[in-house]
Amino acid sequence: MSNHQEYMDSKMLHAFMDGELGGPQEEALFHKLSADPALRSEMQDHLAIRKAVQHDIEAFTPPASATAAIFTSLGFTIPSNTATAAGAGSSFLRGLWIGSAASVLAVATAIILFFQFSTTGDAPAEIIERVVRTPADPVFIEQPAPLADLPTAPARHASAAVTEAATPFDAEFTVRAVTPRDITLLASAIDETAPPAQVRTDQVRFYDLLPAPDGVTLYARNVALRSDPAPTVVSQSEPWFRNVNLGVLYAIDEHHAIGFEGGREPFSQNFHGIEHGVGVRYEQNPLAYWATAVYQFSGDPLLPHVHPFFQIQAGGALELGALGRATLGLEFRPFDRIAVLVGAEGSLLLYRFQTNWFSSNKLGMTYGLSYEF
């Protein structure tokens, strides 16, 4: 059959499928269809495309926000059936809200931690006093000046204040040189009847120097998750720390905590598209770094030392896409600060190829340890 004849047959087929073919031509087309498998195949292809288009629900669903904008701008009441559409859309918005909230929580955590660390490091009054009281010769402070009279400066100028205060040293204190005495004599001078609370015993412990404010918990956990789609190729490398997650949480109160978590794990991907006019399908299992903001809710104890917890995370996997995780588990706290975690975890990776979005899901177990400062 000539190309021109095929072309004419195809045109006739299209006209028939679009309801534009006359009766006599229909007869001719039916005859050709019965005899030409290629023409039948072409018809089936176009029917498949038409069927898919008719199910393009997204295209036929105007956004509720657009409907609201139109009716509002015309001064009309927004139709009540828009509420349904808005409700459907709001699940997506809720998803966005969770992500946004997690981001806000993450930023808030960073700010809180920053100020916690800053406060721990500043201690301006203590530093000034200590430096001032370190002259070359041993001295004994007989009558310290009232705090209000000390030559202090705002915290941010602490170093300048130290310089000024150290030079005119004798102008601020009544001092006299003393001969160093045996420590037992000094000890005997202590009033043994004084309440113990006045004796500080924790001034030189090394971990006081660490920036670890109360309420901060560090944790490490392993995840054993099953992927959907299942990986059909192996990852490009097998480092020891794959599937190991490290995180930090800051407790807002007894039940709520926020923080960060990161790790490295493989994400099985199965996606398709069109390149150079040809459909292509990719299957890969890249090992990627990821990081998320974390919100954790910790419930009241179910058993002694056993707390349930629920954790949601939102963030991204490097060079792949948006990542969400959720964990439901138990925390066993046999000691004061150390806890063992075990739970069920799911994750969802959303990624885009060309104009389409795809997802990879994981579901499985997680277990680990945490240390609370």
Binding interface with another protein (CB under 8 A): 10-11, 14-15, 18-20, 42, 44-46, 48-50, 52-53, 55-56, 58-63, 65-67, 69-71, 73-77, 79, 81, 272-274, 277-279, 350, 352, 354-359
| CA angle in degrees (0–180, nearest 5) for 300-304-307 | 35
Comparing CB distances to another protein, the nearer of 156 and 281 is: 281
Q: Which residues contact 224 (CB under 8 A, 6 or more apart)?
A: 243, 364, 365, 366
Q: CB of 349: closest distance to another protein in angstroms?
A: 11
Amino acid at 104: V
- State the nearest-atom distance from the C-beta of 44 to another protein, in Å: 7
Residue pair 341/331 in contact by the 8 Å Cβ criterion: yes
Least distance (Å) between residue 336 CB and another protein? 45
Across 147-161, b (16+ Cβ under 10 Å) vs e yields: eeebebeeeeebeeb
Least spacing, CB of residue 16 vs another protein, in Å: 12
Q: Which is nearer to another protein, 23 or 146 (CB)?
A: 23
Q: Kindly tell me which of 19 and 304 has the beta carbon lying closer to another protein.
A: 19
Query: CB burial class (10 A; 0-12, 13-18, 19+) of residue 113?
Result: middle
Distance of closest approach, residue 103 Cβ to another protein, in angstroms: 18
Closest to 301 measured CA to CA, from 339, 257, 258, 259: 339
Nearest alpha-carbon partner for 294 in 264, 243, 257: 257
Taking the complex as a whole, the smallest distance from the CB of residue 93 to another protein amounts, in Å, to 12
Task: Give 2-63 as a DSSP string.
Answer: -HHHHHHHHHHHHHHHTT---HHHHHHHHHHHHH-HHHHHHHHHHHHHHHHHHT-TTTTS--
Minimum distance, C-beta of residue 280 to another protein, in the bound complex (Å): 8
Q: Residue 204 to residues 125, 132, 196, 200, 207: CA-CA distances in angstroms?
A: 17, 19, 18, 10, 9
Closer residue to another protein (CB): 49 or 104:
49
**Least distance (Å) from another protein to the CB of residue 58?**
6
For strands 216-228 and 244-251, give the pairing. Answer: antiparallel
Looking at beta carbons only, is 337 or 352 nearer to another protein?
A: 352
Residue 77 or 134 having the CB closest to another protein: 77
Which CB sits closer to another protein, 76 or 240? Answer: 76
For residue 308, report the phi and psi dihedrals to the nearest 5 degrees: -80, 150
- Write the CB contacts of 154 (distance below 8 Å, at least 6 apart in sequence): none
Choose between 321 and 343: whose C-beta lies nearer to another protein: 321
Give the list of residues 6+ apart from residue 137 with CB closer than 8 angstroms, or none: 177
